[in-house]
Amino acid sequence: MSKTAFVTIAGRTNAGKSSLLNAIIGEKIASVSNKPQTTRTRITGIRNIDDVQLVFFDTPGLHKPVNKLSEHMLNTVKESVSDIDAVVFMMDCTKKINEQELNLLKSLNASKMPVILVLNKIDLLKSMNDLAPVIASMTEQIHFQAVIPVSVTEDNGVDIVIDEIMKLAAESPHYFPEDMITDQPEKVIAAEIIREKLLMMLSDEVPHGIAVGVETMTERDDKDILDISAVIYCEKESHKGIVIGKKGAMLKKASTAARIELEDFFRIKVNLQCWVKVKEDWRNREGLIRNFGLSEK
Ligand SMILES: Nc1nc2c(ncn2[C@@H]2O[C@H](COP(=O)(O)OP(=O)(O)OP(=O)(O)O)[C@@H](O)[C@H]2O)c(=O)[nH]1
Ligand SMILES: [Mg+2]
């Protein structure tokens, strides 16, 4: 008898949602960074355990919308919390809940959607006793299927999250082949790996204005080499200078780090070429957002 559970991972930006998805899938399919709003689209991750297929949707983090891109990101979250079996709601346990989070949780409760509360980053707590008031205040206001304290980076508690989700799987055919771990096209994964390295290396002002598009990705006939060419778009001429760096140092550092991870992911030698272009104010331009695959409309 086969079973399936569709699960959306939602919560504030930087809570550790993509980190959790990667930990559950066992491969890095979603970009992770300490900068807010790292995830921009819905990312699907698939894990098969015995006869159960778990399908996860990682979503952009809740934040205050400031431009058209963030409006699209927040719409993605809204659309991702219907027609599923459960929501994993993730919080950084060192941060207080805000109104946006509370509103989402209340509407999930109203729709009778099972919600598993995952309190992440317990490694940052001085004492586990600090968790008790957090849990008490949350469960006073919202009904949860389960409350699970975890530290994703220390691999503490992730197995308990999986066990809870397994309980919610319903009898159903499997929708994805057994060997599939994500529905992200390879070009998108490659672009996200490059964008993640830039997020890691650049200072705060620039990263949000960056989009990466992989233009070509071809394996050579005569050698085991994958040629990838990518364009890094930034919003300002001055940002382009920062992305390239002194004598190209920044671009070189980021593309080397990306190449190493690309080789690891695709298990083949990679030749990566990155170009930097300016597209002013792309985050407010519908057409460009569609172009980058950040909106389906
Ligand atoms: N200390 C600590 N840091 C963590 C833990 N889990 C994730 N992080 C860090 O938190 C930061 C954000 O992680 P992400 O997985 O990108 O968070 P996210 O919720 O997907 O963020 P958005 O995509 O912006 O919504 C990264 O620097 C992670 O390494 C944890 O258990 N403990
Ligand atoms: Mg994320």
Alpha-carbon gap, residue 61 to 17, rounded angstroms: 8
In the predicted structure, residue 184 carries a pLDDT above the cut 90 = no
Q: What is the DSSP track for 239-259?
A: HHHHHH-GGGHHHHHHHHHHH
Q: Which residue's CA is the closest to the ligand 1 atom numbered 3?
A: 121
User: Is 70:54 a contact under the CB 8 Å cutoff?
Assistant: no
Tokens coding 271? 């030749």
What's the pLDDT tens digit per position in 101-152? 999 999 999 999 999 999 999 999 999 999 999 999 999 999 999 999 999 9
In the predicted structure, residue 275 carries a pLDDT above the cut 60 = yes
Q: What's 3-171's CATH class?
A: alpha beta
Q: Which residue's CA is the closest to the ligand 1 atom numbered 11?
A: 34
Ligand with the closest atom to the CA of 32: 1
Split at pLDDT 50, 70, 90, the class of 284 is confident
What is the fold of 186-291? GMP Synthetase; Chain A, domain 3 (3.30.300)
What's the pLDDT tens digit per position in 3-17? 999 999 999 999 999
**CA distance readout (Å), 46 to 71, 169, 184, 212, 259:** 27, 13, 11, 24, 25
Chain position carrying tokens 């098969």: 48
Domain ranges of the chain: 3-171, 186-291
In testing the pocket of ligand 1, which one of 25, 38, 62, 80 has its CB within 8 Å of the most ligand atoms?
Answer: 38
Which phi-psi region, left, alpha or beta, contains residue 121 (left: φ > 0; alpha: ψ -120 to 50)?
Answer: left
Q: Which residue's CA is the closest to the ligand 1 atom numbered 1?
A: 121
Alpha-carbon gap, residue 293 to 282, rounded angstroms: 13
SS3 state of residue 199: helix
Mean model confidence pLDDT for the chain: 91
Q: How far is the CA of 16 from the centre of ligand 1 (A)?
A: 3
* Most confident among 35-49, 204-218, 253-267, 270-284 (mean pLDDT): 253-267
Alpha-carbon gap, residue 254 to 238, rounded angstroms: 18
User: Is 294:37 a contact under the CB 8 Å cutoff?
Assistant: no
Ligand with the closest atom to the CA of 10: 1
Q: What is the pLDDT of residue 292?
A: 72
What's the pLDDT tens digit per position in 209-268? 889 999 999 999 888 999 999 999 998 898 999 999 999 999 999 999 999 999 999 999
